[in-house]
Amino acid sequence: MFAVSLGDDKAELRPLEIWQAEEFLAHMDRARELVDPWIPFASFATDLDSARDLLRRYAEKQAADTGRLYGIWLEDTLVGGVLFRIFDTASGNCEIGVWLEPAAQGRGLITRAAERLIDWAVYDRGMHRVEWDASAANTRSIAVAKRLGMTRDGVIRQNYLYRGVRHDSEIWSVLAPEWRARTGR
């Protein structure tokens, strides 16, 4: 297994795999309150079987090269994650998703982890467009997109129904030439 350092605070980005289902479920239980208002991700892992199923789906996506899932560990505790929800090498487009538990907020972990994913997508895999899809009401997620230097492409009004409420989505993106200019590589 590998771990990528996210800085001097002992934070690491690591693959999140099926054998870690118990740890993932415990983390989702801690993260549920912060994640549930915005996305159904935490609701997909409510017991050990459903946690394994979610991790299995992402293992299958990774095997098919259509998605990937990584955890963020802080001092050996799983506190969040980042993923490629969509990874389409034919079109050169991918979408990043993120989540974090409350105790890990305010440390820049999501921004640093997303930077690593974008670097890999652009520099190693040759992706052209990296997207960020956030509820228009999720100001913390939108703030991360801004910190990543993404451009707001627009709003898709009331495009998804979640918990009986229609939500607007803001679509943000960064293109490979923009990312290269930002990172100087």
The CATH number assigned to the domain holding 45 equals 3.40.630.30
Does position 34 have pLDDT exceeding 90, yes or no? no
Does position 153 have pLDDT exceeding 80, yes or no? yes
Which position has the higher pLDDT, 42 or 84? 84
Decide: 82 and 70 in contact? Cβ < 8 Å: yes
**SS3 state of residue 20:** helix
Does position 84 have pLDDT exceeding 80, yes or no? yes
**SS3 state of residue 145:** helix
CB contact set of 124 (below 8 Å; sequence gap of 6+): none
> Shortest CA distance to 5 belongs to which of 13, 71, 148?
13
pLDDT computed for residue 170 by the predictor: 96
Asked whether residue 142 is domain-assigned, the answer is yes
pLDDT computed for residue 43 by the predictor: 80
In the predicted model, what is the mean pLDDT of residues 21-46? 88
pLDDT computed for residue 7 by the predictor: 87
In the predicted model, what is the mean pLDDT of residues 21-32? 94
pLDDT computed for residue 72 by the predictor: 97
Domain count, the chain: 1
What's the chain's length in residues? 185
pLDDT computed for residue 99 by the predictor: 93
Asked whether residue 39 is domain-assigned, the answer is yes
Asked whether residue 2 is domain-assigned, the answer is no
pLDDT computed for residue 1 by the predictor: 60
Does position 38 have pLDDT exceeding 80, yes or no? no
Asked whether residue 4 is domain-assigned, the answer is no
In the predicted model, what is the mean pLDDT of residues 167-178? 96
Token pair, residue 145, equals: 């997109």
> Shortest CA distance to 15 belongs to which of 48, 63, 86?
63
Asked whether residue 1 is domain-assigned, the answer is no
Token pair, residue 96, equals: 């990043």
DSSP state of 102: G
Decide: 40 and 50 in contact? Cβ < 8 Å: no
- Tokens 């998804």, residue? 160
Does position 22 have pLDDT exceeding 90, yes or no? yes
In the predicted model, what is the mean pLDDT of residues 20-27? 96
Domain that holds residue 36: 9-183
